[in-house]
Amino acid sequence: MNNMSSESKLEETHLDYKPSMTSIVLKRMWQLRMGVFGFVLVLVLGLSAIFASQVATHDPLEQDILARLTPPSFLEGGGSTYFLGTDQLGRDLYSRIIYGARISLTIGLSAVLVSMVIGVLLGLAAGYFGGKIDAVVDFLVNAMLAFPFILLAMTLVIALGASMENIIIALGLSNWPIFARVTRIETMKLREQEFVLAAVSQGLSHVRIILKHILSNLAAPLLVIATVEIARAIIRETFLSFLGLGIQAPTPSWGLMLAEGRDYMLTIWWLSTLPGFAIFLAALGINLVGDALRDLFDPHMRKG
């Protein structure tokens, strides 16, 4: 008994530092709480996007020119009509942020779907069949990763024209290598596993083995990566819109709102602060859910 406890102490402590039991428990609870917090943020984001017309207090495009640049209610001079104030055209900032969630989430989800489909198909082919296919895919992935991502996406948007569909295509086409890389490596590992070798020796068709034995085992890692990539796609969309190469005015996109607010940065700081905070909370929530999913699927990868 004594022996065991001293050994487990050695495993847990590094060098001379001994964390107390309370701090470990606190840390675990904190991690769990962060996962729940992230889930709540994502839920709020999703509900705002779906029920935008019910949640918003105003039409996001309606201009009240007399009330332009009204401060938020919690600041001096803020009225009760516009909770988060109004922008330079007198549009309700709160309602625009709520409708912005719809745009961000649609683009984030669709762009990741596009890159996931391309990446997983190429990665499966490379990892499963190996040889020349693998060499070509690996090479393409490396080449794509050396291409400045944001310039590639910007050029694609210019080539295709700035619209929501084209932003999705541009972001999707520039971000598939990360899915291809993970799928390829995981498939290579699975390919050598006994249950796959058994399936091969039973004479199952390649398609069947890939669908039934490989893809099902890829679901967990892919879901974790996809979650994090959704957050990144949302941030990238806001940057494209910020540069005027994304969603076009007057559609309420968070990035576009930030760009418009930037002109008033010196005096009316909340115009660019609030939409940015919405982007931050959305990305934070999605990342926290991603972390929680990773812990759930793979206890060995647990960070703390």
Interface positions with other proteins (CB under 8 A): 10-11, 14-17, 19, 23-24, 26-27, 30, 34, 139-140, 142-143, 145-152, 154-156, 158-159, 231, 235, 238-239, 242-245, 258, 262, 265-266, 269, 272-273, 276, 279-281, 283-284, 287-288, 303-304
What is the smallest separation between the CB atom of 193 and other proteins, expressed in angstroms? 21
What is the smallest separation between the CB atom of 117 and other proteins, expressed in angstroms? 20
Give the Å distances, CA to CA, from 97 to 4, 245, 297.
56, 19, 33
What is the smallest separation between the CB atom of 92 and other proteins, expressed in angstroms? 21
Identity of the residue, 186 or 237, whose beta carbon is nearer to other proteins in the bound complex: 237
d(CA 115, CA 122): 11
Identity of the residue, 32 or 145, whose beta carbon is nearer to other proteins in the bound complex: 145
Identity of the residue, 76 or 194, whose beta carbon is nearer to other proteins in the bound complex: 76
For the CA atoms of 180, 184, 185, 186, the dihedral, rounded to the nearest 10 degrees, stands at 100
Give the Å distances, CA to CA, from 228 to 86, 91, 111, 172, 294.
32, 32, 13, 14, 11
What is the smallest separation between the CB atom of 259 and other proteins, expressed in angstroms? 9
Residues 6+ apart with CB under 8 A from 10: none
Identity of the residue, 83 or 239, whose beta carbon is nearer to other proteins in the bound complex: 239
Classify 282 as helix, strand or coil. Answer: helix
In the structure encoding, which two tokens stand for residue 128, read together?
């499963």
Q: Say which residue the tokens 């929501």 belong to.
A: 164
Identity of the residue, 17 or 131, whose beta carbon is nearer to other proteins in the bound complex: 17
What is the smallest separation between the CB atom of 16 and other proteins, expressed in angstroms? 6
d(CA 6, CA 171): 53
What is the smallest separation between the CB atom of 187 and other proteins, expressed in angstroms? 19
Identity of the residue, 9 or 208, whose beta carbon is nearer to other proteins in the bound complex: 9
In the structure encoding, which two tokens stand for residue 207, read together?
């398609």
Residues 148 and 127 sit within 8 Å (Cβ to Cβ): no
Identity of the residue, 10 or 66, whose beta carbon is nearer to other proteins in the bound complex: 10
Give the Å distances, CA to CA, from 103 to 50, 148, 238.
11, 25, 10
What is the smallest separation between the CB atom of 55 and other proteins, expressed in angstroms? 22
Tell me the torsion sign for CA atoms 14, 19, 21, 27: negative
